[in-house]
Amino acid sequence: MNCVIVIIDGLGDRPIKEFKNKTPLEYANTPNLNKLASNGITGLMHPIKKGIIPGSDTSHFSIFGVDPEKYYSGRGPIEALGANIKIKNGDIAFRANLATVDSNLVLKDRRAGRIDSTKEFCEALDGMNIDGVEIIVKPSSWYRAVVVLRGNGLSDKISSTDPKLTGCRILDSKSINSTKEAKKTADIINKFVLFSYEKLKDLKINKERESKGLLPGNILLPRGAGKFNKIPTLKERYGISSACVAGGGLYKGVGRYLGMDVIEVEGATGRYDSDYDAKVSAVNKATKEYNLVFLHMKAIDSAGEDGNPRLKKELIEKVDRAISKLQSELILVTGDHSTPCELKRHSYEPVPILICGSGIRTDGVKKFGERSCMQGGLGHITGLDVMSILMSHAGFSSLYGS
Ligand code: ZN
């Protein structure tokens, strides 16, 4: 049996007054998701456990059956895999923003005016060596980049260089324990940040940007340090082949961490303009080759973070239209967390989940929504239950006992 896991980022929400106290998902016109719910089994899913506010990274680990308490080691390594860096055990990886500072290293813009690519900037910094440690710098989406330190005696126990507030001077990275490895790593990152400013401020592309009145991308600010450690792949755990279709680097990174092949789709941007139909076509092609395909839809979460329930509703309807074309023997749809528009951030509330496919017990729920799925046959499950249920139904799990 082939299966597809659809994760709609930030799907869950709270009642919205202008939607007659319905959530964006409840208020949206979603005939195709409702059909899957009617023909399948539904419930509510707590990505980590009840009452915990999940990050997108820890939540995806959990949904794919990898206990984040055991295996999560920071966002950096996942972003590095998303940027297609061949990361090795022991590497220290960071996510980083290309930012704008003044000559006193005071932050003017965390995203260099939301610059749309960091390619040239990363090329100027990639491959240097500081104190015997190799520094790998690669572009990620938009103003984002990834920095990896490769060498001996390094630690991920160091603090961020990004003050996150404009008008503040950039931060010195500090060791967050007293080991010499952490002190050494913080020292290298601080040297790298200063070097990035010296190197980038006079780049030709920055002179051109300034002449057009645009902000220069003149410093790289690493944060989210993490040490890469290999985790068990889906192949090792279930013996299955798997692939990932996503726009955002983080989700491609999750896929690679789990041993999935990442299928690049033109028009899959991870932004509001992402081409969902192209992504679904790629998934339909992939289900002929792979046992499991992971389809990630990002923009719904961004609408929640922007506090825009109308846009969130419209994007959910866009997902619903694309899903009407999805072909698979077993389809699971859920979110990685709730992003209520009123909070503009992730929250602890569980997300609806549905599983539809041959042989599934149905439960009488006709609508895919936060309240309707409370009545569903799956009840309340956690992220770590998801793969167990899906793999057992698809015939990829073995008997426990005899
Ligand atoms: Zn998320």
30: nearest Cα among 313, 335, 344 = 313
Is 0.85 topped by the overall pTM?
A: yes
Lowest mean pLDDT among 268-272, 282-286, 288-292: 268-272
State residue 236 phi and psi, 5-degree precision.
-70, -35
Are 316 and 25 in contact by the 8 Å Cβ rule? The answer is yes
- Reference 260, options 296, 231, 298, 293; nearest CA is 293
Residues 355-369 have pLDDT tens digits of 999 999 999 999 999
**DSSP H stretches of helix in 224-272:** 234-238, 249-257
Question: 138: CA distance to ligand 1 center in Å?
Answer: 23
Give Cβ neighbours of residue 187 (< 8 Å, ≥ 6 apart). Answer: 131
pLDDT of residue 34: 98
Residues 6+ apart with CB under 8 A from 70: none
What does R_g of the chain's alpha carbons equal in angstroms? 22
Distance 7 CA to ligand 1 centre (A): 9
Q: What is the pLDDT of residues 84-125, one digit of tens each?
A: 999 998 899 999 999 999 999 999 999 999 898 999 999 999
- Band (280; pLDDT cuts 50, 70, 90): very high
Residue 263 · residue 245 · CB < 8 Å? yes
Distance 372 CA to ligand 1 centre (A): 22
pLDDT value of residue 209: 94
Cα(297) to ligand 1 centroid in Å equals 9
Q: Specify the 3-state DSSP secondary structure of 261.
A: strand
Predicted confidence (pLDDT) at residue 271 exceeds the cutoff of 80: no
Q: Which residues of 251-271 are buried (b: 16+ CB within 10 A; e: fewer)?
A: bbbbbbbbbbebbebeebbbe
Phi, psi at 295, each rounded to 5°: -115, 120
Report the separation in Å between the CA atom of 371 and the middle of ligand 1, taken as the mean of its atom positions. 21
Per-residue pLDDT band at 270 (split at 50, 70, 90): confident
What's the chain's average pLDDT? Answer: 95
Look-up: residue for tokens 């985790």?
231
